Structure 1
Amino acid sequence: MSVRRLAEASVQPASFAFNRANAAAAKQWIKKYPKGREQSAIIPLLMLAQEQEGWVTKAAIETISDMLGMPRIRGLEVATFYTQYQLNPVGTRAHIQVCGTTPCMLRGSEALMDVCRSKIHHDQFHTNDKGTLSWEEVECLGACVNAPMVMIFKDTFEDLTPERLAEIIDLYDAGKGASVAPGPQNGRTGSEPASGLTTLKSEKAILKSTRDREAREAAKAAKAAPDAIIAAPVPAPAAAPVAPSNASKPKTDAPETSPALKTPSKTKVAPAAEKAASVSAPLHSAANANQAAPEVEKVSKQRNGPKTKAEPAAAFKAPEAKAAKPAKPSLEDKNRPAGIDRPAAVDDLKLISGVGPKIEGVLHTLGIFTFAQVASWKKAEREWVDGYLSFHGRIERDDWVKQAKALAKGGVAEYIRVFGKKPV
């Protein structure tokens, strides 16, 4: 934020007083705050002064501060902090605030500022030669969808072109500003799309009467639902699957078994083949059986599916047992850091990154109360404390010893010098 200062003494009036209407309004504002909190009315009272004078004068700030019983410097702080207060004289007929935030900038607000530079003054916060007009660039004015826009006193003018703004400035300069209708300047209504409404073209869908009618229709349909179910034809149950007759089965010499136990059987051969087999019967041997084996295996695969190769027993591994949680080191361990009795001045160990209120309490039970104690820990002692706190190496990662040394040497200032930041 840029520095905001009061106007030069040469343009400051000697005194300030509310007119009758604003004096009554000021009293009403002060009554809105609890007793002892009346100074909170400084903001609305400064706005009343600005509306009366056109800008906030030094005399107005001092008068209002005295009225509220607050130091004048506090009133000056409020007036110079909030950019809504004009600290320099503005145009008596129009002070134009041009929005320069991204949406308006993308839609041409820079061209609007050029119009103000040419018609009013090259620089902001300066009036024209007649003192009737002034302008400034401001942050978002809250009508981004209708960008670009300006605000003149309390009215906003949106969907502006440079030509239209020039016309509005001329009208205000001529004292005819009241004839300009505020709002969009391109015929748009509200904040609808520039091309016109594309959705919600009718309010019928959101009217209460429409919702009530739809609710009644839904209730009526739900009530009629059981009757519709009863009246609906019930489809005939699907016929149960019939097992194939024995006539369709190939005749075999094997006895009938359950489907799960069926094995390939010898199919009865045709008479001609049977006669040939009887002639060559004496020649049957183990070789003949070996030749028939592939055929049997083929039939077996067709009936029972391919054989699944058995997994070796070694392929199945038992779930690994979780590693046991390491036990806390003993309080009698020789590596436990030496403790001391609680001293009168106890260091704030929470300044060490990684030490919170709970860990600080544990360290106190171990007799650790100062930064110097932590700074003197050897590796074995750090490992003992890390194990006792179940920190899994955090003491080394956060470098407690280096932090404690800096804090013991020069407190927070030394910590900032070493680490470049405040203790967290």
Structure 2
Amino acid sequence: MALRRFDLEAGGDSFAFKPETEEKIAFWRGKYPADKQRSAVIPMLWLAQKDNNGWLSEPAMREVADRLEMPYIRVYEVATFYTMFRLQPVGKYHIQLCGTTPCQLRGAEKLKEVCQTEIGKPMYVTDDGRLSWEEVECLGACVNAPMVQVNDDYYEDLTPDMLSIILNKLKNGVEAHPGPQVDRINSAPEGGTAILTDPDLFDGTRNQISALPNLPTSEPEPEPTAAGKPDEGAPTNTQREVPQKETTGKTTLISKTEAAASGEKAEVAGEKPETLAVAAEDQDDLKRIKGIGPKNEDALNELGIYTFRQIAEWTPSNVDWVEDFMSFPGRIEREDWIGQAKLLASGAETEFSKRVDAGEVASSKDDEE
């Protein structure tokens, strides 16, 4: 590990925790007995860093040591060991760029070039005091690589252009939307899952145990025939019992895979929402709703769903029907399609729709674009 020293000149002569931080200090100290208070040194240093504009000055470390009745050197050792503690001033928005292998393979080097161009050298603070950056080790968001952490927020699935837009927004005091910068929920597949979509896979019946193996039975097992074949009438591997169709309180459900194989039309739970025939010029861009990409928009259009107003008026039964038909249970409520649709139908905007209109959401663009 490289030698890390704290900035004595920039730290001044004094430090005090903010009044609103005292409750958090009491919470962390309350976790440990009176004779083990030094165990709270890491959360105390973290709170001191937050109250000191994102870095630890020498007076801040001394304040932590005094409160925990620790020798100053012991607190200095902790602060200089963990890279989560910064020992020199940083900008109002401090960018931590992950440079570990997964992010590097996905383009972190290009993001580093953006930081160097837009901000300067690592740990340099821009003249307006708003931005600084450094390269760090893994931040634990590998599936959404490449990514950066800005203060307490993650910005994931980045391209150089996306990061440049985010930095310019922060530089100009404009809110930047954290999280994945593509059409996905957390670490879910982009545009929604395309595999394991059959609801029968998740209803739990396939994991039910009908009998424990190797238990004694009252009836003796059939003797094998001389040829080593099962008795006539005994079920073979190709004659296994087929589960019967399940009946819910609403409608009979069968596997869509089973229906396709048998030629039977699968029934869907719930009530199909009202459909409309809408002229092309009157159709809304459903991709402005977070969670609806081009594929989902096409599927909704095929069902006769073209406007925000239609989605805004869905009942719980309509939601059940659409989720079962399109094989993504729980997604509409989780992503709040109806709440977004109500805002957009009224002429208002959401943070996601603003990003779509600005061309910042690549997965919301039509395929031909």
TM-score of the two chains, using structure 1 as the length reference: 0.48
Report the counterpart of residue 77 of structure 1 in structure 2: 77
Report the counterpart of residue 63 of structure 1 in structure 2: 63
**1:144 correspondence with 2:142:** yes
Alignment partner of 2:178 out of 164, 177, 182:
182
Distance 2:183 2:170 in 1: 21
Deviations 1:376-419 (A, max 9, x none): xxxxxxxxxxxxxxxxxxxxxxxxxxxxxxxxxxxxxxxxxxxx
Distance 1:130 1:113 in 2: 21
Structure with bigger helix share is 1
* Structure 1 pair 195–114 and aligned structure 2 pair: CA distance change class (3 A): same
SS in structure 2 of the partner of residue 37 of structure 1: helix
Distance 1:159 1:60 in 2: 36
Return the letter of the residue paired with 2:165.
E
Deviations 1:311-337 (A, max 9, x none): xxxxxxxxxxxxxxxxxxxxxxxxxxx
Deviations 1:79-100 (A, max 9, x none): 11100011111111x1001100
Deviation at 1:202, TM superposition (A): 4.6
Deviations 1:294-350 (A, max 9, x none): xxxxxxxxxxxxxxxxxxxxxxxxxxxxxxxxxxxxxxxxxxxxxxxxxxxxxxxxx
Return the letter of the residue paired with 2:171.
D
Deviations 1:26-71 (A, max 9, x none): 1221110123110011100010111122211111100110110010
Alignment partner of 2:157 out of 156, 159, 172:
159
Report the counterpart of residue 167 of structure 2 in structure 1: 169
Distance 1:234 1:189 in 2: 52
SS in structure 1 of the partner of residue 35 of structure 2: coil
Matches within 5 A, 1:300-311: none
Report the counterpart of residue 109 of structure 2 in structure 1: 110
Distance 2:166 2:202 in 1: 39
Matches within 5 A, 1:185-204: 185-194=181-190, 197-202=193-198, 204=200
Report the counterpart of residue 203 of structure 2 in structure 1: 207
Report the counterpart of residue 120 of structure 1 in structure 2: 119
Report the counterpart of residue 100 of structure 1 in structure 2: 99
Distance 2:129 2:106 in 1: 30
Return the letter of the residue paired with 1:119.
E
Distance 2:233 2:169 in 1: 81
SS in structure 2 of the partner of residue 36 of structure 1: helix
Return the letter of the residue paired with 1:172.
L
SS in structure 1 of the partner of residue 34 of structure 2: coil
Deviation at 1:191, TM superposition (A): 2.2
Q: Which has the higher contact order (CA 8 A, sep 6+)?
A: 2
Distance 1:134 1:41 in 2: 29
Deviation at 1:112, TM superposition (A): 0.5
Deviation at 1:111, TM superposition (A): 0.8
Distance 1:207 1:181 in 2: 35
Deviation at 1:197, TM superposition (A): 2.6
SS in structure 2 of the partner of residue 136 of structure 1: strand
Deviation at 1:190, TM superposition (A): 2.7
Report the counterpart of residue 35 of structure 1 in structure 2: 34
Deviation at 1:196, TM superposition (A): 5.0
Distance 1:25 1:169 in 2: 31
Deviation at 1:163, TM superposition (A): 0.3
Deviation at 1:17, TM superposition (A): 1.1
Distance 1:117 1:206 in 2: 48
Deviation at 1:142, TM superposition (A): 0.8
* Structure 1 pair 204–65 and aligned structure 2 pair: CA distance change class (3 A): farther
Deviation at 1:5, TM superposition (A): 0.6
Distance 1:234 1:176 in 2: 75
**1:134 correspondence with 2:138:** no
* Structure 1 pair 103–234 and aligned structure 2 pair: CA distance change class (3 A): closer
* Structure 1 pair 233–149 and aligned structure 2 pair: CA distance change class (3 A): closer
Poorly superposed stretches of 4+, deviation over 6 Å: 232-235
Percentage identity across paired residues of the two chains:
45
Return the letter of the residue paired with 2:16.
A
Deviation at 1:8, TM superposition (A): 3.9
Distance 1:41 1:234 in 2: 72
Looking at CA atoms only, which structure, 1 or 2, has the larger radius of gyration? Answer: 1
Matches within 5 A, 1:270-349: none
Distance 1:13 1:207 in 2: 62
* Structure 1 pair 48–204 and aligned structure 2 pair: CA distance change class (3 A): farther
Distance 2:137 2:102 in 1: 11
Return the letter of the residue paired with 1:20.
P
Q: Is residue 45–residue 61 contact of structure 2 (8 Å, CA) maintained in 1?
A: yes
SS in structure 2 of the partner of residue 172 of structure 1: helix
Distance 1:148 1:117 in 2: 16
**1:17 correspondence with 2:13:** no
Deviation at 1:234, TM superposition (A): 7.6
Report the counterpart of residue 258 of structure 1 in structure 2: none
SS in structure 1 of the partner of residue 185 of structure 2: coil
Return the letter of the residue paired with 1:205.
L
Return the letter of the residue paired with 1:72.
Y
SS in structure 2 of the partner of residue 18 of structure 1: coil
Return the letter of the residue paired with 1:45.
M
Structure 2 residues not aligned, in runs of 5+: 213-218, 223-230, 235-369
Return the letter of the residue paired with 1:74.
R
Return the letter of the residue paired with 1:4.
R
Return the letter of the residue paired with 1:59.
P
Distance 2:126 2:145 in 1: 26
CA RMSD of aligned residues (A): 2.9
SS in structure 2 of the partner of residue 61 of structure 1: helix
Deviation at 1:203, TM superposition (A): 5.1
